[in-house]
């Protein structure tokens, strides 16, 4: 499409039609549909004057970052959500690598209310840059195109239970620096809903969380299984308080059958989707509706032939080909996930490499180890996940070799200066000597035995 993006055309039309209905909400903040588009094009005009490269939006929660993202899309500049809570060194490294211009809340708001106007940028181009954990020891940049995003939205809008609920109220758990948020934010904007981004305070306090879920009238909840498990611990997570909840879009990690069973028991009328996909292929590429009868064993995460892309198994690995795959991969993305197909349904069988999900976050142990090796006194580091009986990751253990290792609390402090909280180990083990394999690599099998 020459106008650029179906998403933006729809946002413009909703803004003209939906008046005072909130488009974006977070905490006490509200932004109406009526106000959204004029503000977005005004900020876009300012951004277009300032350059053409990426824009680092310095915020990952609240109502202003999404308004800034839309302005970047209108201006034709890639945006990059920059988490203020990441260590300064990580933020600086990302800014240096991308050459991005920083956009603060004050600057965004000044542009939003400047009453300027701007045509929607044409062309393909990059929509956003996200940074995920990288196996090479540094954060991995993923550049998703405008076409990728439109394609994802068209596909996800065809999923059972999604469009109706997305036009009401969508609650998103993830910060905008994670690609799970692409589902809640943009499905809501695409379908003219109200997008509710949970605040840090709401995520930290179940009473505040359930108040928000109840008061917002959440119809579609987008969350990781880890988050759903936390919600299910609370009796308040039930239709009595969440009377409008009808679709749960679970994505980002393996959905255990007991979690799904409990959710469907609590919300018998709800549609539960187990969606699968990596950031590199735009949020999710397939999904399977889960019924209570399925909850006796591993759950499917996709229906072959109904995904956003072509999905094949090559030597057991899930390989994705098609319009959702970020441009850097030339149309084919090898996921590193092992899959299995049974009766046309796709199941997850683990990873080919060391990548894990911990509390819903992607963790590359090699990135954590590389960051730890920059600490003075650490000569060699290896990081392993600790798992419970059900295979869930319960923590990260760092094994360190070095003559002058700092003390445990100091190690934790130095790690936090280098890594976001979710990548920091919570257990430290000192080794006289790192066990090595015959070819001199760290012997992870030996280390795994030492975890027990
Ligand atoms: P991320 O890009 O951080 O969302 O991580 C993508 C990875 O999360 C995938 O490659 C899988 O390993 C895992 N993942 C995502 N969704 C699912 C799912 N429904 N079931 C099992 N694993 C999943």
Q: Which atom of ligand 1 is nearest to the CA of 279?
A: 2
Confidence of residue 107 (pLDDT cuts 50, 70, 90): very high
366 close to 419: Cβ distance less than 8 angstroms: no
pLDDT average, residue stretch 39-44: 98
CA 244, chain centre distance (Å): 24
DSSP letter string, 275-319: EE--GGGSS-SEEEEE-GGGTTSPPP-EETTSSSSEEEEETTEEE
Is the CB of residue 215 less than 8 Å from the CB of residue 196?
A: no
Q: Summarize pLDDT for 197-253 with one digit per residue, the tens.
A: 999 999 999 999 999 999 999 999 999 999 999 999 999 999 999 999 999 999 999
Average pLDDT over residues 305-314: 98
267 CA from centroid of ligand 1 (Å): 24
User: Which residue puts its alpha carbon closest to atom 7 of ligand 1?
Assistant: 278
Residue 41 has which token pair? 């094009």
pLDDT at 2 exceeding the cut of 70: no
CA–CA distance, 65 with 346 (Å, rounded to integer): 35
CB 208 within 8 A of CB 202: yes
- Residue having the nearest C-alpha atom to atom 6 of ligand 1: 278
- Whose C-alpha lies nearest to ligand 1, atom 10? 278
77 pLDDT higher than 90: yes
Task: Report the pLDDT value the prediction gives residue 123, as an integer from 0 to 100.
Answer: 82
Question: Which residue's alpha carbon is at the smallest distance from atom 21 of ligand 1?
Answer: 254
- For residue 387, the cross-strand partners are 393
Q: What is the pLDDT of residue 65?
A: 98
Report the percentage of the chain scoring pLDDT > 70: 99
Distance between CA atoms of 415 and 409, rounded to whole angstroms? 10
| Beta carbons of 240 and 267 less than 8 angstroms apart | no
Task: List, in order, residues 6 or more apart from 75 with CB less than 8 Å away.
Answer: 44, 45, 47, 48, 118, 121
Cβ contacts of 425 within 8 Å, gap of 6 or more: 368, 372, 383, 395, 396, 397, 398, 412, 415
Q: Band of the pLDDT at 4, cuts 50, 70, 90? A: confident
Instruction: Tell me the mean pLDDT in the region 81-99.
Output: 96
Residue with tokens 């600057």: 107
- Please give the distance, rounded to the nearest whole angstrom, from the Cα atom of residue 278 to the centre of ligand 1: 6
Spell 242-272 as b/e; 16+ CB within 10 A means b: beebbbbbbbbbbbbeebbbbbbebbeebbb
Q: Ligand 1: list residues with CB < 6 Å.
A: 132, 179, 251-255, 274-276, 278-279, 301, 335, 337, 348, 351, 357, 362
Q: What angle do CA 333, 339, 345 make, to 5 degrees?
A: 110
Are residues 67 and 55 in contact, defined by beta-carbon separation less than 8 angstroms? no
**Distance between Cα 181 and ligand 1 center (Å):** 14
Average pLDDT taken over every residue of the chain? 96
Strands (E), 152-268: 169-172, 194-197, 220-223, 247-251
- Nearest-angstrom CA–CA distance, 301 and 347: 6
Q: How confident is the model at residue 3 (pLDDT cuts 50, 70, 90)?
A: very low
Q: Shortest CA distance to 237 belongs to which of 202, 255, 262?
A: 262
Tokens of 101: 């211009």
Q: What is the pLDDT of residues 422-443, one digit of tens each?
A: 999 999 999 999 999 999 999 9
- Distance of CA 394 from the midpoint of ligand 1 (Å): 17
Ligand 1 atom with least separation from CA of 178: 3
Position in ligand 1 atom list of the atom nearest CA 250: 19
User: How far does the centroid of ligand 1 lie from the alpha carbon of residue 18, in Å?
Assistant: 35
Q: Decide if 59 contacts 65 (C-beta within 8 A).
A: yes
Q: Looking at the predicted structure, is the pLDDT value of residue 1 above 60?
A: no
Separation of alpha carbons 61 and 174, rounded Å: 9
CA distance 354 to 137: 13
């Amino acid at each position: 499409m020459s106008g650029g993006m179906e998403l933006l055309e729809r946002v413009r039309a909703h803004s003209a039609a939906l008046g005072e209905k909130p488009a974006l909400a977070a905490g006490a903040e509200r932004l109406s549909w009526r106000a959204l588009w004029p503000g977005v094009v005004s900020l876009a005009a300012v951004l277009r004057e300032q350059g053409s490269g990426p824009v680092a939006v310095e915020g990952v929660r609240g109502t202003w970052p999404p308004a800034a993202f839309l302005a970047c899309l209108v201006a034709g500049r890639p945006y990059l959500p920059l988490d203020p809570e990441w260590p300064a060194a990580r933020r600086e490294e990302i800014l240096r690598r991308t050459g991005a211009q920083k956009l603060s809340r004050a600057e965004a708001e000044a542009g939003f209310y400047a009453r300027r106007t701007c045509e929607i940028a044409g062309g393909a181009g990059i929509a956003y840059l996200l940074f995920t954990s990288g196996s090479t020891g540094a954060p991995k940049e993923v550049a998703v195109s405008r076409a990728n995003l439109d394609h994802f939205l068209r596909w996800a809008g065809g999923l059972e239970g999604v469009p109706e609920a997305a036009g009401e109220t969508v609650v998103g758990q993830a910060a905008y620096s994670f690609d799970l948020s692409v589902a809640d934010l943009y499905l809501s904007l695409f379908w003219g809903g109200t997008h509710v981004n949970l605040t840090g305070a709401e995520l930290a306090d179940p009473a505040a969380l359930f108040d928000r879920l109840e008061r917002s009238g959440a119809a579609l909840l987008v969350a990781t299984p880890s988050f759903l498990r936390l919600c299910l611990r609370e009796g308040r997570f039930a239709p009595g308080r969440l009377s409008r909840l009808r679709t749960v879009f679970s994505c980002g990690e393996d959905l255990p059958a007991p979690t799904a069973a409990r959710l469907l028991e609590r919300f018998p009328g709800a549609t539960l989707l187990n969606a699968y996909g990596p950031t590199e292929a735009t949020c999710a590429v397939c999904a399977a509706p889960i019924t209570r009868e399925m909850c006796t064993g591993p759950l499917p995460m996709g229906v072959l032939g109904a995904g956003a892309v072509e999905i094949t198994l090559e030597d057991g690995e899930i390989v994705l080909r098609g319009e959702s795959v970020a441009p850097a991969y030339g149309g084919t993305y090898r996921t590193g996930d092992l899959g299995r197909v049974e009766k046309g349904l796709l199941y997850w069988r683990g990873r080919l490499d060391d990548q894990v999900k911990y509390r819903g976050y992607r963790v590359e142990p090699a990135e954590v180890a590389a960051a730890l090796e920059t600490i003075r006194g650490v000569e060699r580091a290896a990081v392993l996940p600790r798992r419970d009986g059900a295979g869930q990751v319960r923590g990260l253990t760092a094994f360190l070799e070095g003559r002058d290792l700092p003390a445990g609390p100091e190690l934790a402090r130095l790690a936090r200066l280098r890594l976001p909280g979710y990548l920091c180990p919570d257990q430290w083990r000192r080794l006289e000597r790192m066990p090595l394999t015959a070819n001199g690599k760290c012997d992870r099998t030996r280390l795994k035995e030492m975890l027990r």
